[in-house]
Amino acid sequence: MDPSILFENTSQEPFYAERDTLVFALFYENVYKTKKEQVTKLKELEHYLACEIEPFIKYYPWYSKPVEFELYEDYQGRCFIYGELVYGDYVNDLWLITSILYNFSARDSDLYIKVLDQDGEYLLIEGADHISPWMDGEVSCNRIWINDMSIKTVPKEYKEGSSLSMDESLDFIKTHYYKMEPCVDLTDFLVNHVLNKYPKEVLENLYVETVRVNESVFEFIAANKPYLVNAALNFQMESLFPDVPGKKGRFPESFYSDDEETLVDVKVRVSALGYLLLKEYGKRSKLEKGRFLTRSLDKYVSENPMIDIKWESPTSIVEEFNETTDKDLLQKELLRFSIIDREIMSKEPEFESESESEPGEKNTMSPEAEKGQEILQMLEKFMNGGNKEEEEEEEEEVHYDGTPWGNRGQSWEQDNLGSIMTDYDDMNDDYYEKEEEEDIGLGIDVGIDEDDFFEFFCKEALKLKDIDMEKMSGQLEGSQLQKLSNSPKSHRMQHNDSGIDVLSSLFASLNTENGDSGAVSSIVRPNEV
């Protein structure tokens, strides 16, 4: 950890981090206290903070690794507690720690807490609609602090029109703490819409999955900290070059053995992103989930040689390990310390749209968007040849936005859909190229017949009967469908990160810009023709 970030951060140059990272610092500022007394007080606060975070450090499946912090007794002439947390694509981890720090600020009125991430003052970003007009990005750096369960700011009159350095801000607090201005609207908004939802929000998004792995892999899982499984899955997810079956790292060959006599069913606790990843890559069986997890663990330890790991746990028994996982020791500890007042049940991830919403509220797809998605799926089914057996085996797709608050971050699906669909398109392109080569060799026209397309669209998308189709067939010009059926595969199968372009094209064909009927409107609204 490098606390120099605190003193180098400015509004013009936010600190750089390879992955989204929270940094925080706790300062004890009292003009009447000596440096030695400050250090003594900070040691006491460090102890209490460790006690409050300990259940999460021991049992919570962090995105990357547990939060870390330590006391600096003399850094550039100042003493403080400094900490870091890599939260990556899972913003819930960021708000969990922020919530803990906010509540912890009630321990002493002389305790001032600074929180930042790679974007800067994220509390202001989240509550942008609830701050004073003068507090823009050019002047707000290092003015905002958490103090005594309130968000406060150094007044604009101090160094008006410019941001502050960390030293300037701390000097003002030490000598003019009574002039610190409470940001009432910002505090109320963040507390009611974000902070009060934790830790419940993270507990609702923890899941137990059963995987079938080799006994050696189980011993590796049991020997290491609970977060390792979840961290390995997330590391695999965000890798530029994800591992594929057959590629091995530090794991011995025996870890990959599928001998029935050496396989065991193991329960692991993961957060929402890891849960969805296991669902996606292990749709058919616990064994597939186990294979994917084994590759993910191997990749994680191979590319992170500095992490502290153990290779076996001779005393571990699968049944006992699974029982412990089911007990949810994290919640038991939180109940014991009265951090929660009842057990929190996991909630199934919901499919959400990417449309804007109020911060703290989950999005739901509009009826129009749902219908558009259904039509797109039917069109893709037709273009792909409609393998009915495979579609019946597919599980229902789910979508979870790891950021429940409207302004912070993007979901895993948003960040990774582009690469997933690129792989998907490559596979389909290979299929079409092979099929076209075979058909061309036989002298077969590879274009899609417009009559077939018309019949499929009317029956599958519009649910029309044969008699209705006969009435419509005379009303539809063949040239309209010819444009669709003869389009290149790259256009038929192209996706982007959100699917919005595809939907826009579809709905644009229903209505042109001047409100006249579009190319496909005569299909969808036959009675208006």
Q: Name the one residue in this structure whose structure tokens are 């389909």.
A: 428
**Residue 323 forms beta bridges with which residues?**
none
Model-wide pTM > 0.85:
no
Short-list 185, 95, 180, 170, CA closest to 132? 185
Helix axes 367-383, 500-508, angle to 10 degrees: 90
Q: How far is CA 229 from CA 40, 60, 96, 270, 333, in A?
A: 38, 11, 20, 7, 21
At 301-328, the pLDDT tens digits run: 998 888 888 877 667 799 999 999 999 9
Give 213's contacts (C-beta < 8 A, 6+ positions apart).
Answer: 221, 263, 264, 266, 290, 293, 294
- Does residue 199 have a cis peptide bond before it, meaning omega lies within 30 degrees of 0? yes
* pLDDT, average across residues 15-37: 91
Return d(Cα 82, Cα 45) in angstroms, integer.
Answer: 12
Which one-letter amino acid corresponds to residue 442?
L
Q: Judging by DSSP bridges, how do beta strands 181-182 and 206-214 pair with one another?
A: unpaired
Q: Judging by DSSP bridges, how do beta strands 181-182 and 144-147 pair with one another?
A: unpaired
Return d(Cα 420, Cα 51) in angstroms, integer.
Answer: 42
Q: Is the pLDDT of residue 161 over 80?
A: yes
Q: Is the pLDDT of residue 422 over 80?
A: no
- In the chain, the N- to C-terminal Cα span, in Å, equals 69
Alpha helix (H) residue ranges in 215-345: 215-223, 227-238, 272-281, 286-303, 318-327, 329-336
Which pLDDT does position 396 carry in this prediction? 41
At 207-229, the pLDDT tens digits run: 999 999 999 999 999 999 999 99
Which pLDDT does position 457 carry in this prediction? 63
| Residue 148 φ/ψ region, left for φ over 0, alpha for ψ in the -120 to 50 degree band, beta for the rest | left
Q: Is the pLDDT of residue 378 over 90?
A: no
What is the DSSP code string of 71-88? EEEEETTEEEEEEEEE-T
